[in-house]
Chains A and B, each alone.
Chain A
Amino acid sequence: MNMHAPSVRIRDLDLQFGDVKVLKSLSLDIRQGEFLVLLGSSGCGKSTLLNCIAGLLEVTDGQIFIQDQNVTWKEPSERGIGMVFQSYALYPQMTVEGNLSFGLKNARVPKAEIAARVARAAEILQIEPLLKRKPGALSGGQRQRVAIGRALVRDVDVFLFDEPLSNLDAKLRADLRVELKRLHQQLKNTMIYVTHDQVEAMTLADRIAIMRGGVIMQLGTPDEIYNRPQNRYVADFIGSPSMNFIDGRFDGETFVAGDLAIPMQGYRFSSESARAGQATIGIRPEHVVTGELVERAPVQTTVTVNLVEPTGPDTLVYADLAGGPLRIRMDGHAQVRAGDVLPIGFEPSRASLFDAETEERI
């Protein structure tokens, strides 16, 4: 096997339910051992894509390769994948042990081998004491561990996760997230992980694919997605509170909105010849600086605070800038009140500039 070939390769995938096109000519290469997160709002086709990779849905057009094999027509069990579902989907009438070994029995793996693999998975996931219990007698977190174990015992190349943590409460979700990351470091399998939670995506992913309407809007590392969003949709989708957008004009060097002029020195343009025209600048709330830092910022101005939202670790300040709303994320200790006039500053090199028409990054 060629180690540099992609682990999973999706080529021109189309999927229709009746007349509704859910996936549109989608292509995606996933590297060996990569943790890829499919991120997007509900209904954008994430689960559909995952089900296509798993072979649970028949594709309308296109090809899927797993470990250099064309698996487009293969049964789910022949694809070398394991899958973990949001609802755990444990077989209720079987014990945990039965759940773990069901797939292996179907594949006619010898008994001793089954026992060994179940023991290993149980050890990795620390579910040994639960082996004789039925799923009904387990907590949500334990159930999801068993579900992961079911994929683990099959010794597959690719793990598929469909929102595996969404049914858990916040604390458990954070714990299992860390465990999943650890598991990936330990196993080094390829993992494809569907979620609508950007924190999960940012923390777990080697690369994130942001989906919208059955199309991948951007594929990149969490850093790229966060700092250099390819288009306005991605910029808006990632980050909470979301990015501030100010509409104006870009003349090739300076962005102008009302009486605010932002010289774009130090900004990394996506192409050599930056197009002039109507544009939108995007500034993350956490990239707006206040206090002493303002003096060192290339762009400085003042705004009037109209709402303050303390959240504990930091405080969210709402103001107006160049005719639009501006959200500023400040330290939790910041002493601001509605009505205050606040000096602010930001660095154009950290901002994002989008063409107003195509909404693509300039």
Chain B
Amino acid sequence: MADTALPTHGPRGPKPKRALSRTNIIVYGTLIVVSLYYLLPLWVMVMTSLKGMPEIRLGNIFAPPVEITFEPWARAWSGACTGINCDGLSRGFGNSVQILLPSLALSVAIASVNGYALANWKFKGSEVFFTILILGAFIPYQVMLYPMVIILRELGLYGNLWGLVLVHTVFGMPILTLLFRNYFAGMPEELFKAARVDGAGFWGIYFRIMLPMSLPIFVVAMILQVTGIWNDFLFGVIFTKPEIYPMTVQLNNIVNSVQGVKEYNVNMAATLLTGLVPLVIYFVSGKLFVRGIAAGAVKG
């Protein structure tokens, strides 16, 4: 019998893996080094923002604070001075929120409908329209600044919060539309056909069929817009005036204000505060973000 001749000892089942194989060392080593490289500035910022000025002057930027103080954070929020006023970032935060929310809602709403129409309701010239829209994504913003100023002036929106909302909505359109179009194009066509046979119209299909299936891509669009709009500086400076400057502009004015001593701890705290909103968004929706990006990017 061949069966009995086979050895019963020896390898069986999964092959054991060594934890400290050479591959693992290289992979984890690289990951750790790269993480450190990216985390170091953050470390320095957080540490500095928690120190008092005398301690900062000692110069050990990597050392943790001997005596932790939250005073710089408080000052950054409500007491730091720009050239004009001394009520800190809180004013900018409020402005940014007021700019962000309508821009976000408008741009995502319009772009998703755009993408849906382009993907599912091929109309005469829809390809041309789409091409033009995508070309828009490749034109540097700077080229369009001046014409935009004139358009806003003619509309009576220049220097107005709604003017900036309009600018953000318009400039977000190409990339967001592309994102939504690709996502909707990747959905099964027969689903759309079934809904049409069932008598659902343009809006019926959008709200009842497409929307409930596209949470991931909405999260992606939201994150892109929140980060983009929150971090925007250029449009904020150009299209608004000092009372309604967004947080980034306010931050710049605090950090670059030339009166008195440079308060590094306050500057660091202010910078961290400004970056907090996109950061929180990333942490909250990280998984959905990755899923949506993968779904939107792979299918064309």
Contacts and interface: CB of A to CB of B under 8 A. Distances in A.
Interface of A: 51, 54-56, 75-77, 81-83, 85-87, 89-93, 102-103, 106-107, 150, 154
A150 B194 contact: yes
B197 A76 contact: yes
A106 B198 contact: yes
30 contacts: A54-B197, A55-B196, A56-B193, A56-B197, A75-B196, A76-B196, A76-B197, A76-B199, A77-B196, A77-B197, A81-B197, A82-B197, A83-B193, A86-B190, A87-B188, A89-B188, A89-B193, A89-B194, A91-B195, A91-B209, A92-B213, A93-B212, A93-B213, A102-B195, A102-B200, A102-B208, A106-B199, A106-B204, A150-B194, A154-B198
Contacts of A81: 197
B190 A103 contact: no
A267 B193 CA distance: 48
Interface in B186-228: 188, 190-191, 193-200, 204, 208-209, 212-213
B194, B196, B204: most-surrounded residue (chain A CB, <10 A): B194
Contacts of B209: 91
Residues of A contacting B: mostly: loop
Contacts of A93: 212-213
A83 B197 contact: yes
Given A83-B194, A87-B190, A106-B200, 14 more contacts: A54-B197, A55-B196, A76-B196, A76-B199, A83-B197, A89-B190, A89-B191, A90-B194, A91-B209, A92-B213, A102-B200, A103-B197, A106-B199, A150-B194
A100 B297 CA distance: 33
A106 B195 CA distance: 10
A167 B277 CA distance: 47
A150 B212 contact: no
A67 B190 CA distance: 25
B216 to A, nearest CB: 13
Contacts of A92: 213
Interface in B147-165: none
Contacts of A106: 198-200, 204
Interface string B97-122: 00000000000000000000000000
A103 B199 contact: yes
Contact of A85 (B194, B200, B212, B213): B194
Interface residues of B, number: 16
Nearest to A78: B199
A107 B193 contact: no
A216 to B, nearest CB: 23
Contacts of B196: 55-56, 75-77
Contacts of B194: 83, 85, 89-91, 150
A150 B213 contact: no
> Ordered nearest first, which 6 A-B pairs have the shortest CB separation?
A77-B199, A103-B198, A106-B199, A89-B190, A89-B194, A93-B212
Contacts of B195: 91, 102
A77 B198 contact: yes
B199 A85 contact: no
Contacts of B204: 106
B190 A85 contact: yes
Contacts of A77: 196-199
B197 A51 contact: no
A86 B213 CA distance: 20
Nearest to B199: A77
B16 to A, nearest CB: 38
Given A77-B198, A103-B199, A150-B198, A91 B193 contact: no
Contacts of A90: 194
A55 B197 CA distance: 8
A107 B199 CA distance: 7
A339 B199 CA distance: 65
A77 B191 CA distance: 15
Nearest to B204: A106
A74 to B, nearest CB: 12
A93 B209 CA distance: 8
A192 B79 CA distance: 76
A102 B196 CA distance: 11
Contacts of A55: 196
A77 B198 CA distance: 6
Contacts of A75: 196, 199
Contacts of B213: 92-93
